[in-house]
Amino acid sequence: MEQSARKTKDSLNRSLRFGALKAVSARFPQRVTDLLYAYAMAWRLTPELRRAAFQLKADIDYWGAGSGQQDMRAIYLALTKPPDDSWTCDNCDLIMVSRGRLCFLVGCDPAYKNCSYVCLERPTNHKLRR
């Protein structure tokens, strides 16, 4: 009897955990929209925006690992901008959008002319077919 109760409890915990992951994934579109709006309103990188971008990445990573789904992923990306005479962090794009990818600036290193981003990716049609 005790073993049966343990199996039921384990099964319920797995179901609840998966349900929580599904609920988190349902919030991503709104959180991304809110983050885009916050970046647009601030018009510069702030510590709060940086934390929010990294928290969103961590939540997406957790959701992907827990659910096994690959319909959205988050990556950390560092890009080096081509040098010019007076390179500053203003050379970094605050938000970058490309096919299937949305990137938020999270850091800048003027010494190395480097911009760091958290990027959210959704698979494009050719990735889904493979």
List per-residue pLDDT tens for the chain, 130 residues long: 455 555 544 554 454 444 444 544 566 778 888 888 898 888 889 999 999 999 989 988 887 777 776 677 788 888 876 666 777 888 888 988 877 788 899 999 888 888 999 988 876 655 544 4
CB 79 within 8 A of CB 115: yes
- The per-residue pLDDT for 15 is 47
**Predicted TM-score of the model (pTM):** 0.70
- The per-residue pLDDT for 125 is 57
Question: Across-strand partners of 81?
Answer: none
* Structural domain boundaries enclosing 79: 2-129
CB 35 within 8 A of CB 105: no
Query: Number of folded domains in the chain?
Result: 1
- The per-residue pLDDT for 121 is 82
- The per-residue pLDDT for 3 is 59
Which region, left, alpha or beta, applies to residue 36 given φ > 0 means left and ψ of -120 to 50 means alpha? alpha
**What is the distance between the alpha carbons of residues 66 and 61, in angstroms, rounded to a whole number?**
8
